[in-house]
A and B are shown apart, each in its own frame.
Chain A
Amino acid sequence: MAAPDFTLTDQAGVPWTLSEHLDTAVLLVFLRGDW
């Protein structure tokens, strides 16, 4: 795929991999962080 794939940890500590969710469209919302 064209976009970089990645695996990051979610709010429950579970890995989340982009390519496993791209059977449909995905909106990535990048936030500032450091809340």
Chain B
Amino acid sequence: MASRYDELLAAGTRVVAIDVDSPGQHAAMVDKLELPFPYLSDPDRTGAITAYDLADPNDARGIAIPALVLLDPSGEERFRFVSRDFAERLPEDDVVEAAKRLGLSATTQEPIEVGPLEPGERAMPLDGMPFYFRGGRFSALAMGLRHGHHDDSIKEDSKAFVDEMDRFFEAAQALRARKAGN
């Protein structure tokens, strides 16, 4: 969603990310990925995740279902997308279009402050991310090649994954290059 941030602000929409992780983990993520918007902690899911009916009942760790919820200034929901699983791509084009349809003036969001960095135990260093996305790419490609003949949806999912992994790979490489130049 960070890649569409400028378009969302131009359409009068601010962005905030929410999950169950701690402020220190979020600080590390914001620092690593240079995220431009606030990242909020809802560790026991009682603040927003359950209120928006997005607690994943099938996950014992108590995580949220990835989702997008667009609120207009009166607090009405104007767009909602709830993913089927952790791997589903969030429909960025659709939510940007929904934001534009609100017809609001461009807005701004204050530059965010970052607290002490406390990355989670499994947090991946930025330098490892391109290889991770390459691995994801070839796994998805192999599944499509082996099993695509069973069902067109497998072929389509495989292709969508490969495309997404390619985009993430390029974004991670661009971020590494930018940080190396700083």
Residues of A near any B CB (own CB < 8 A) = 1-14, 16, 18-19, 21-35
Report the minimal beta-carbon distance from A9 to chain B, rounded to whole angstroms. 5
**Residues on B with beta carbons closer than 8 Å to the beta carbon of A2:** 74-77
Q: How large is the interface on B (under 10, 10 to 19, 20 to 34, 35 or more residues)?
A: 35 or more
CA distance A11 to B71 in the complex (A): 22
Residues of A within 8 A of B150 (CB): none
Q: Which of B38-46, B155-163, B166-174 lies at the interface?
A: B38-46
**Contact A28 B112, beta carbon cutoff 8 Å:** no
Residues of chain B at the chain A interface (Cβ within 8 Å): 1, 8, 11-21, 23, 25-27, 29-30, 38-42, 47-49, 51-52, 54, 61, 63-78, 86, 90, 95, 99, 102, 104-105, 107, 112-115, 120, 122-123
Q: A11-B30, A32-B63, A33-B64 are in contact. Are A23 and B47 (CB under 8 A)?
A: no
Q: List 30 A-B contacts (CB under 8 A).
A: A1-B74, A1-B76, A3-B75, A6-B47, A6-B51, A7-B47, A8-B41, A10-B38, A10-B39, A11-B26, A11-B27, A18-B48, A19-B75, A21-B16, A24-B14, A25-B14, A25-B104, A27-B14, A27-B15, A28-B18, A28-B67, A29-B1, A29-B15, A30-B19, A30-B48, A30-B49, A31-B17, A31-B64, A31-B66, A33-B20
